[in-house]
Amino acid sequence: MLKLGVNIDHAATLREARYRGLGHGEPDPVEAALICEAAGAHGITAHLREDRRHIQDRDLWKLREVVRTRLNMEMANAPEIVEIALKVKPDIVCLVPERRQEVTTEGGLDVAGNEAALTDTRKRLNDRGIEVSLFIAPDPAQVEAAARTGSQFIELHTGAFAEHFGEAAGRVREVARLMAAARQAHQAGLQVNAGHGLNYQNLAGLLQLPHLVELNIGHSILCRSLVTGLDAAVREMLALMRDY
């Protein structure tokens, strides 16, 4: 069964637009997480960024208290954030690149260029019982490097697939890259997740990928929830994934 992890960051984005720095406000990303779980989501994803633009430390601690499925903490490989992860103990950490000027995470990690540092962080997290995933582009060198770090998962960056979905040649090219990366990762002993830019229109084009464990989807579900409600938005996405 293909699992769905719902990223609730942008519930916090909406809250921070009005209540930034106040320590309260709506919508509450923790409440959103509970609704997603009740609707059938298999996990909750939250990205504690260094600039705290959406998810705050208090959100992460509360999520750790209440999430009963699987808490996935997205984070940069930054000393402060690593220390927080070691204390919070999410079920899994997904290490991602992070730039202050980006709107959301752009591109994948350069694992090949930062292998030693990522391996060290992976070991520290694993020693605390936390699984590790690396968010990477579907590039053979990056998959190979990810395997060498000893990480349990990769998460394939599907942004290029989403960007080129409306163009037949581009869609075929990006699906082929993702399929090759998924096979390579599986052969190397890595489990395979995917995410970024996935929505109700392009999801079907991704379901031909082999060896997928989980899709992490956030923005599209939260946008859909403005029309249908969050419970219905999660259930609709799960229905699209059912035949994998």
Element (H, E) at 74: strand 71-75
Please say if 47 is a catalytic residue.
Answer: yes
| Catalytic residue (choose from 47, 98, 155, 174) | 47
Output b/e per residue, 215-236; b: 16+ Cβ within 10 A.
bbbbbbbbebbeeeebeebbee
| Catalytic residue (choose from 74, 98, 155, 214) | 74
CA-to-CA dists, residue 173 to 76, 165, 176, 179, 227, angstroms: 29, 10, 5, 10, 33
Element (H, E) at 93: strand 92-95
DSSP assignments along 135-159, one per residue:
EE-S-HHHHHHHHHHT-SEEEEE-H
Please say if 74 is a catalytic residue.
Answer: yes
Catalytic residue annotation = 47, 74, 196
